[in-house]
Amino acid sequence: MPMGGTGLEEPANGGKTWQDITGDRPYCKPLILRFNPATRELWAGGVGLFKLKQ
């Protein structure tokens, strides 16, 4: 399980481990998350709008 940090993480090994993919993105608590499986994009909205494409 994720460690509950203040970054963005993705699961690896079927969720046994997690990898930090925050990069240079600023932290802000998302108010809404949406995933588009057709484009594999994760959108996070809060103070701003951010998109992560895998």
Q: Read out DSSP for 1-54?
A: -----SS-EEEEGGGTEEEE--TTPPP---SEEEEETTTTEEEEEESEEEEEE-
| Dihedral of alpha carbons 44, 50, 53, 54, sign | negative
**pLDDT tens digits, residue range 2-47?**
455 667 788 888 778 888 887 787 766 778 889 999 998 988 888 7
Is this structure's pTM higher than 0.85? no
CA distance 52 to 27: 14
